[in-house]
Amino acid sequence: MPSGKRARQQRQQAAAAAPPPVRSKGVGGVRARQASPRALAIAGGVVLVIVIAIVLGVVLSGGSGGGGGGGIVSSSDMQDLPATGSQSSANALPGAPEANNLFKGIPQHGLTLGDPKAPVEMEMFIDVRCPVCQDYEVLKLPAVVKHDIATGKAQLHLKPWAFLGPQSVTGRLGVIAAADQNKGYEYAKVLYDNQGPESDQWLTGREMAVIAASVNGLNLAQWRDAVNGSASQSTASAVDALAKQKNIQATPTILIGCTGGKLQAIGAGGEPSAQETEQAIAAASCS
């Protein structure tokens, strides 16, 4: 049986050989992956049941999960991992150096990346298991980060939404918990660089922990406690409420506008290109 690292490399090779993500087709053209209102209502009910089960599981396992074997990420999931994440550790995943270097020196505060005084604001609703989100995060977002966020033109707010089932619900907590240490963007990038097939249940507690171990400076015990704790779940619930308020129908959904003002979705209901994103930032004309 191949090792975990070898299996991930095989997944990456298979993904590289596969055709690019195909968006579902609707009347009048091509649009990003989305569900009907009825499907969203059903999914919302499922997510609520899962959230209740998660909270009960954490409570019954002894709270934050700091000392026991229960929780979304357990003590056994942390076995043989370093106390502090590092791109050069034996368990580090492919792409870890690039992910850590991309955001090096750029201010992070929770789920916000960039100068909080930047005139343009960008919101990004993503699902950790969404292959179209992976395409945007890996192939488009780096140019936006380098040209617009690192230079102070725009700030980015990450919104980890649960859209594709149970592991989306639990998996996004890894991003949120890393954001507690201002490392959420590195965590998300490593995750997307090593994303498994949408049909597979690959985002286990162990995989979440190995992703965390690939992020420079991330305190893994603190991260695990945050994954299993109630504060991360509250943040996730706030994202769900915002997605409902803004009638988000697909992932990724990118909204851009002047900081503190009304943000507009870009990409005509589909995945925007890096050029479309940068053009929208430039066109915002914010003082």
- The domain that holds 77 is classified in CATH as 3.40.30.10
Domain count for the chain? 1
Domain housing 206: 34-283
Residue 204: the pLDDT is 97
Answer yes or no: is 14 within a domain. Answer: no
Q: What type of residue is 189? A: K
Answer yes or no: is 104 within a domain. Answer: yes
Q: Tens-digit pLDDT profile for the chain (287 aa)?
A: 444 444 455 555 544 444 445 432 222 333 344 444 444 444 445 444 454 444 434 333 333 333 345 799 999 999 999 999 999 999 999 999 999 999 999 999 999 999 999 999 999 999 999 999 999 999 999 999 999 999 999 999 999 999 889 999 999 999 999 999 999 999 999 999 999 998 899 999 999 999 999 999 999 999 999 999 999 999 999 999 999 999 999 999 999 999 999 999 998 767 899 999 999 999 997 86
Residue 287: the pLDDT is 66
CA distance 214 to 195: 14
Answer yes or no: is 120 within a domain. Answer: yes
Answer yes or no: is 18 within a domain. Answer: no
Answer yes or no: is 195 within a domain. Answer: yes
Answer yes or no: is 226 within a domain. Answer: yes
Answer yes or no: is 251 within a domain. Answer: yes
Answer yes or no: is 3 within a domain. Answer: no
Q: What is the pTM of this model?
A: 0.79
DSSP string, the chain: ---HHHHHHHHHHHHHHSPPP-PPEETTEE--SB--HHHHHHHHHHHHHHHHHHHHHHHHTTSS-SSSS-SSS-TGGGTT--SB--TTSTTPPTTHHHHHHHTTTS-EETTEES-TT-SEEEEEEE-TT-HHHHHIIIIIHHHHIIIIITTTSEEEEEEE---SSHHHHHHHHHHHHHHTTT-HHHHHHHHHHT---TTS----HHHHHHHHTTSTT-BHHHHHHHHHSHHHHHHHHHHHHHHHHTT--BSSEEEEEETTS--EEESTTSPPPHHHHHHHHHHT---
